Structure 1
Amino acid sequence: MTERNSWNYRNPCLTMHQPWASLLVYGIKRIEGRSWPAPIRGRLWIHAASKVPDEATVKAMEEFYKEIYAVDGIYDLKFPENYPVSRLLGCVQVVGCSKREELACWKEVSEGVRLEALTDFCWLCEQPQKLLVPFEMRGNQGVYDLERKIYEAAVRGLAPVESPLPIKFPLPNPRNPFSLKPGSIFARFPESKATEMEKSSTLSSAIAGAQAAATQFSKKDQSSHNDAIQNRNIINAKRIGQFESKSWENNKSPAGNFNKGSNRGTQLFVKQGQSSYSEHDGRISSHNQLPRAGSNQHLRPPSKIFTDAMRELRLS
């Protein structure tokens, strides 16, 4: 699988609270639950947030995984000895994403995996690797890129993890890493329905405890994701504005305020959606925002950086 991911991430990383971060890197947790779909495929670095987990949360999650692994006949789980914070822990491979109701009825995976469907979107994770020596670093919101120096140091310190029950999620199209996305499971199996499996009282209690532990971060998770998208859009707006400013200066338009109008139009595109971009002729038009500079004055064809930035804004 290629290391290059969508949205131009080179070395994507996700900051998670403990104990979920360590459980994922140790291969016990196979589904990363989020309120938003996975924007990447391939390697995802896992960073533990600075909040020290309380004993009740750790106990609730460990009991949850004991019970759901027992459904598949696995009774001897080795949990992490400790749950470090503010550390880069390791990485997993994100191979797909599904909705909760899809994963719950997906017969191609084990019952224990289906019981992990506790959130709106389920990121499907395989091939966990942990750092032999987790090292300290600061996290960020949403999915973000590791600094190059950190990545180069981390990739040399990885060691494979032996999962209690290794899993391989089948992709609908092995040639397309994004073929396993929300809606694809129902598309393949339109008659699929979630069947309510018999749950013991201890399993039901463990699921309820895991849900209660996870909900304390659900609102914060959505807020962090929205903030990350907004920050990315601001960065893209600056990149686009710098490109257009240089393009208009080189164009030598007879209109004295043409460059200023171009920048303003670009900002309005990002913030209000009042401008439009055509990849066919490489022009930008802004409704009642850009002054005319003569019928024979056109923008230069945009660079690849500009085209990629516009594509990213559409995805967000």
Structure 2
Amino acid sequence: MSKQQQQPPKAGDLCITLHQPWASLLVHGIKRVEGRSWPAPLNVLSEHIWIHAASKVPDAATIEAMENFYREVYSVDGVTNIKFPEHYPVSVLLGSVKVVGCLKLEELVSWEVLPQGVRLEGQTDYCWLCEDPKKLVVPFQMRGWLKVYNLEKRIAADAARGLRPVLGPAPFKFPLPDLSDARSLQPGSLQNMLSQEAGSFKEPSSNKKG
């Protein structure tokens, strides 16, 4: 058990535990940006990750506040028909989303190609960009862990058979980087990369390899 816990999560078996109502809002395709105080690990990017709801029961005021927040977020883009989850279960595996990228807050809010509502979802230091929501027909009761962790293979295999695609109120595909261009990563990446290069190569140009 200890060796397994020390191993880094593998693609396809990844899971993260979130509090309600945020967990269900993500799986139902309403929440498109997951906010964290830490950046998405490299092995999470471009991968589907399981979403597990934590054990804390959300109070009615929190649910109402978050549903009102997303009504406002979508209304700026003219979307008014939002079907919120009927229930916000806890201590269950809910479904999965695909994390297609991770931006700093300032990068997300200034990325003008995105709908205004998506940019308004940015509320924390790091913003995980989520697509392709899927929910389980029957949520699976289980215990969660901190950070990103490995979902037991047996549970993942059984749960995968119960996944169904979800169509959110306004499905959106984040513009993916040009994989043929190493500098086409995300807003701000070119500037960050040039700054790193300027700090790394302080030798005279004659000493650099061509």
Asked if these proteins are the same fold (TM beyond 0.5), I'd say yes
1:101 aligns with 2:102: no
Equivalent AA in structure 2 for residue 132 of structure 1: V
Q: What is the match of residue 167 of structure 1?
A: 172
* SS of residue matched to 2:176: coil
1:48 aligns with 2:53: yes
1:30 aligns with 2:32: yes
* SS of residue matched to 1:109: coil
Cα distance change, pair 189–78 in 1 and its aligned pair in 2 (3 A) = farther
Q: What is the match of residue 289 of structure 1?
A: none
Equivalent AA in structure 1 for residue 92 of structure 2: R
> Which structure carries more helix by proportion?
1
Q: What is the match of residue 23 of structure 2?
A: 21
Equivalent AA in structure 1 for residue 74 of structure 2: Y
**Root-mean-square deviation (Å):** 1.9
Native 8 Å contact 2:15 2:150 kept in 1: yes
Equivalent AA in structure 2 for residue 24 of structure 1: L
Equivalent AA in structure 1 for residue 10 of structure 2: Y
Q: State the alpha-carbon separation in 1 of the partners of residues 171 and 191 from structure 2.
A: 24
1:72 aligns with 2:77: yes
Q: State the alpha-carbon separation in 1 of the partners of residues 25 and 190 from structure 2.
A: 30
| Deviation at residue 9 of structure 1 after TM alignment | 1.8
The alignment of Structure 1 onto Structure 2 pairs a total of residues equal to 180
Q: State the alpha-carbon separation in 2 of the partners of residues 62 and 148 from structure 1.
A: 34
Q: What is the match of residue 143 of structure 1?
A: 148
Aligned pairs (5 A) from 1:289-304: none
Given the two structures, how large is their TM-score scaled by the length of structure 1? 0.55
Native 8 Å contact 2:9 2:150 kept in 1: no
Native 8 Å contact 2:33 2:122 kept in 1: yes
Q: What is the match of residue 118 of structure 1?
A: 123
Identity %: 60
Cα distance change, pair 175–38 in 1 and its aligned pair in 2 (3 A) = farther
| Deviation at residue 188 of structure 1 after TM alignment | 5.1
Q: What is the match of residue 254 of structure 1?
A: none
Q: State the alpha-carbon separation in 2 of the partners of residues 163 and 139 from structure 1.
A: 25
Q: State the alpha-carbon separation in 1 of the partners of residues 66 and 120 from structure 2.
A: 13
* SS of residue matched to 1:185: coil
* SS of residue matched to 1:45: strand
Q: Which runs of 5+ in 2 are unaligned?
A: 1-7, 193-210
Q: What is the match of residue 303 of structure 1?
A: none
Cα distance change, pair 77–189 in 1 and its aligned pair in 2 (3 A) = farther
Native 8 Å contact 2:9 2:148 kept in 1: no
Q: What is the match of residue 310 of structure 1?
A: none
Which one scores higher on RCO, CA 8 angstroms, separation ≥ 6?
Answer: 2
Q: Which has the larger radius of gyration?
A: 1
* SS of residue matched to 2:187: helix
1:155 aligns with 2:160: yes
Equivalent AA in structure 1 for residue 34 of structure 2: E
Q: What is the match of residue 9 of structure 1?
A: 10
Q: Deviations over 1:240-299 (max 9, x none)?
A: xxxxxxxxxxxxxxxxxxxxxxxxxxxxxxxxxxxxxxxxxxxxxxxxxxxxxxxxxxxx
Equivalent AA in structure 2 for residue 60 of structure 1: A
| Deviation at residue 174 of structure 1 after TM alignment | 3.7
| Deviation at residue 135 of structure 1 after TM alignment | 1.1
Native 8 Å contact 2:9 2:149 kept in 1: no
| Deviation at residue 34 of structure 1 after TM alignment | 0.2
Q: What is the match of residue 196 of structure 2?
A: none
| Deviation at residue 172 of structure 1 after TM alignment | 2.1
Q: Which runs of 5+ in 1 are unaligned?
A: 1-6, 191-316
Cα distance change, pair 175–135 in 1 and its aligned pair in 2 (3 A) = farther
